[in-house]
Amino acid sequence: MKSLLNSALGLTLGVAGASFALADGHAKELTIAIVNNGHMINMQKVAEAYTEETGVKLNWVSLEEGVLREQVTSDTATGGGQYDIINIGMQEAPIWGAAGWIEPLEFGAEYDVDDMLPAMRNGLSHEGTLYAAPFYGESSMVMYRKDLTDAAGVNIADNDSWDNVKAAAAAIHDPDNGVYGACLRGKPGWGDNMAFVTTVVNSFGGAWFDADYKPTLESDEWKAAINFYVDLLGTYGPPGSEGNSFNEILALYNEGKCGMWIDATIAASFLEVDGVAYAQSPNAGNPVGANWLWAWAMAVPAGTENTAEAKAFIEWATSKEYIKAVADHPEFGWGSVPTGTRASTYAYSEFQAAAPFAAAEMAAIESAAPEATDIKPYVGVQFAAIPEFPEVGSAVAQEIAAALSGAKSVDEALAASQAAADAIMKEAGYY
């Protein structure tokens, strides 16, 4: 018994000693929470060179988008300090910066912050201060099967009208042979179906809130947009669309089941079917357009003790050298570089050759305007950069999915959405 006690005591002391040595030694460690998207997964390999060079050990925590958001929000809001670097999106960056949850970022001249695409920089800043550095950025566009549209004798133009797009979907819709006219997001979630639905609403001239932050979900624009969306996806979409988001549709598309897909530009680099062509998102006449704007960015939570090391890593991971490092990496190449962040990336001819979608992507990103306008008081294209938006967005997302399932009419779903959104905004003290 005594020897057991002794060894237990020794073990405890040993462990305590070890952790003490770790905290004290100069071999620094950074814990990085990332979203489990392709580019971020690749970063883990590319960053091995960074560890060799600087001796900073990197611990990766790779999480699914929704889980990441939950984990990172609670850790950051309570100053938990579990992570040194976090992956956040464009919805969070400005409001978290305003709340003081994340550190402002300033980089050296070599970093060339002016090379960053202006839409990205604006979307990740609060009152002119950059709070998160974009790792990769995206907009949305139409990806359609040129072979199918040619065979059907239809055409999809840049910024086409929604009516033309619907006619094209009808022409290529052939469910008996397993091809569905239009694959669109339907899975409930403010970052899932609502990302696409909001771009449709934007293109019809609608917005989430009016100038007093009262929700406007029962407006004529919303009704027209949702009716159009439910009709298009319900008639020419694959069965089970209410469960489809990016990954599900990507699988369908690569199985050759989709004639047309309107989604994130990043999807273009994962498409494996032949005959894909790109067009700028359709528009119903609104000058702001129907492209969304999103970035996965890296930020330093205020609770970490390794601020300097964390900033240094972000500076490296979002730099021009990083893009080159991915391009030169034996396992990757120009086709796998993170896009949508820097103008210089698009200037490489090797990149243009490896990414046929590059021009369309750059045009889509440049045309997206996240700033507040006369139509909407909030920052953000397919979301509103306010802390209450995830709650509002999720509630509405479920109603839209119910309308798509046919469990509710569009009017019923929008009435329920409006009531829920109104309650949340009132609760949050907006009016």
Partner 1 sequence: MSNRTLPRLLQTPAVVLLLIWMLVPLSMTIYFSLIRYVLNSLRRPEWTTPSLSNWRGLGNYEYVLNAKDFWFAIQNSVFIVTSILVLTVVLGLAIAVLVNRSFPGRGVVRVLLISPFFVMPAVNAVLWINMILDPVLGLQGIAVGGINDLVNGLRDFPVLGWFFSLWPELQPISFRATQTSAYAVVMMVTWQWTPFAVLIFMTSLQSEDESQKEAATLDGASPWSQFINLTVPHLARPIAIVVMIQSIFHLSLYAEIEIVSRGNGNKNLPYLIGEFTSNNIGAASATGIFAVILANIIAIFLLRMVGKSLMD
Residues in the chain: 431
Distance CA 24, CA 97 (A): 31
Within 8 A by CB and 6+ apart from 237, the residues are 180, 181, 182, 183, 184, 186
Q: Which CB atom, from 295 or from 420, has the smaller least distance to partner 1?
A: 420
Distance CA 251, CA 325 (A): 29
Selected binder of partner 1 within 407, 409, 411, 412 (CB under 8 A): 407
Q: Which CB atom, from 268 or from 401, has the smaller least distance to partner 1?
A: 401
- From 11-19, 94-102, 128-136, 288-296, span contacting partner 1 (CB under 8 A): 94-102
Q: Which CB atom, from 290 or from 420, has the smaller least distance to partner 1?
A: 420
Two tokens, residue 299: 């930020």
Q: Which CB atom, from 56 or from 397, has the smaller least distance to partner 1?
A: 397
Selected binder of partner 1 within 41, 157, 251, 353 (CB under 8 A): 251
Selected binder of partner 1 within 257, 320, 324, 329 (CB under 8 A): 257
Two tokens, residue 85: 């670097």
DSSP string, 181-240: S-B---S-STTTHHHHHHHHHHHTT--SB-TT--B-TTSHHHHHHHHHHHHHHHHHSPTT
**Phi, psi (rounded to 5 degrees) for 399:** -65, -40
Q: Which CB atom, from 301 or from 390, has the smaller least distance to partner 1?
A: 390
Contacts (CB under 8 A) with partner 1, residues 73-92: 73-74, 77
Task: Kindly calculate the radius of gyration of the chain based on its CA atoms and give it in whole angstroms.
Answer: 23
- The CA-atom distances, in angstroms, between 168 and each of 144, 264, 408 are 10, 20, 27
Contacts (CB under 8 A) with partner 1, residues 162-181: 178
Selected binder of partner 1 within 31, 241, 265, 319 (CB under 8 A): 241
Q: Would you state the torsion angle of the CA atoms of residues 347, 349, 353, 359, taken in this order, to the nearest 10 degrees? A: 20
- Is there binding between residue 96 and partner 1 (CB under 8 A)? yes
Quick count: other Cβ atoms within 10 Å of Cβ 55? Answer: 10
Quick count: other Cβ atoms within 10 Å of Cβ 47? Answer: 20
Selected binder of partner 1 within 170, 273, 372, 428 (CB under 8 A): 428
Two tokens, residue 2: 């005594």
Distance CA 154, CA 156 (A): 7
Instruction: State in angstroms the smallest separation of the CB of 183 from partner 1.
Output: 10
Selected binder of partner 1 within 10, 243, 285, 287 (CB under 8 A): 243
- Is there binding between residue 273 and partner 1 (CB under 8 A)? no
Q: Would you state the torsion angle of the CA atoms of residues 200, 203, 209, 211, taken in this order, to the nearest 10 degrees? A: 180
Instruction: State in angstroms the smallest separation of the CB of 238 from partner 1.
Output: 5
Selected binder of partner 1 within 12, 15, 406, 412 (CB under 8 A): 406
Distance CA 293, CA 368 (A): 6
- Is there binding between residue 211 and partner 1 (CB under 8 A)? no
- Is there binding between residue 420 and partner 1 (CB under 8 A)? yes
Binding mask 97-136 toward partner 1 (x if CB under 8 A, else -) reads -xx-x-----------------------------------
- Is there binding between residue 427 and partner 1 (CB under 8 A)? yes
- Is there binding between residue 419 and partner 1 (CB under 8 A)? yes
- The CA-atom distances, in angstroms, between 403 and each of 201, 258, 412, 415 are 16, 22, 8, 11
- Is there binding between residue 215 and partner 1 (CB under 8 A)? no
Contacts (CB under 8 A) with partner 1, residues 38-67: 66
Q: Which residues bind partner 1 (CB under 8 A)?
A: 66, 69-70, 73-74, 77, 95-96, 98-99, 101, 178, 187-189, 192, 238-243, 248, 251-252, 255, 257, 386-388, 390-391, 394-395, 397-398, 401-402, 405-408, 416, 419-420, 423, 427-430
